[in-house]
Homo-oligomer: A and B are copies of this chain.
């Protein structure tokens, strides 16, 4: 469970609702047609912008930001060092039996165990990393578009309300409430974009950067194992990927 995501969203929502409550009634800020224009319009534009399957993919990725990150960078380094030790002790063929949840590490081990050409292994892993980045980028891109469309529909809703209000300016008393309703769509658009869509896009980006880094560690580790297969040098090189204070030990023996 990623506490920060939950805490951030609930705190933000509480603060905004609290501010509304302190100044009047919450009901005043609830307007179904305004919601329909902003939420419905934003979703409509997203469906034109991206293929259906990418929108689904993005929303299911968006759900995952509540789940906690599983693996630390340091653990990936340690795993690669362990694999180097196994391959040195038991030979490259032993890598076939490595158990891991990371599909790309699994593939790397199998290719090494198959005694595949070093160039092919490198290129295949490069393609895998590129594929992963591309798939992740879709989620970030969809949420960034949502963050762009929602304030636009907020403004479109406000323009509609404004035009209708201005056209019948007979009763000065109705101006205020009509304006208030017109501005609600702008409020919805800004709130959705600032409190939900932009932060979710940001978190998806953080996750992608993190996973990419771990794939880079696996990639460099696999290269090292293929080239000189010395666990100590593998550690020396891979530990450079992580922050100095997280390194197990700067020098081994």
Interface residue A159 (Cβ < 8 Å from any Cβ of B): yes
In the docked arrangement, what's the CA distance between A152 and B196, Å?
13
Asked whether A85 is an interface residue with its Cβ less than 8 Å from the other chain, the reply is no
Q: Which one of B49, B125, B206 lies within 8 Å of A49 (CB-CB)?
A: B206
Asked whether, in the complex, the Cβ of B180 is within 8 Å of the Cβ of A3, the reply is: no
In the complex, what residue of chain B is closest to A166 when comparing beta carbons? Answer: B180
Q: Are A176's CB and B168's CB within 8 A?
A: yes
- A242 in the interface (beta carbon within 8 A): yes
Contact with B along A191-213 (1 / 0, CB 8 A): 10111001110110010011001
Q: Given known contacts A40-B15, A240-B128, A241-B127, is B199 in contact with A48 (CB within 8 Å)?
A: yes
Asked if A28 is at the interface of the complex by the 8 Å CB criterion, the answer is yes
Partner of A156, one of B131, B163, B194, B209: B194
Does the CB pair A202–B50 fall under 8 Å? yes
Interface size on A, residues (CB 8 A): 108
* Complexed CA–CA distance, A55 and B3 (Å): 13
Question: Are A160 and B19 CB-contacts (below 8 A) given A177-B166, A202-B48, A237-B124?
Answer: yes
Question: Which chain B residues border A199 with CB–CB below 8 Å?
Answer: 45-46, 48-49
Which residue of chain B lies nearest to A73 when distances are taken between CB atoms in the complex? Answer: B131
Cβ of A67 under 8 Å from chain B: no
Query: Of all chain B residues, which has the CB nearest A176?
Result: B169
In the complex, are the beta carbons of B47 and A4 less than 8 A apart? yes
Distance in angstroms between the alpha carbons of A195 and B236 in the assembled complex: 43
For residue A155, CB closer than 8 A to chain B, the reply is yes
The reply to whether A190 and B152 contact each other, CB–CB distance below 8 Å, is yes
Bound: A103/B244 CA distance, A: 8
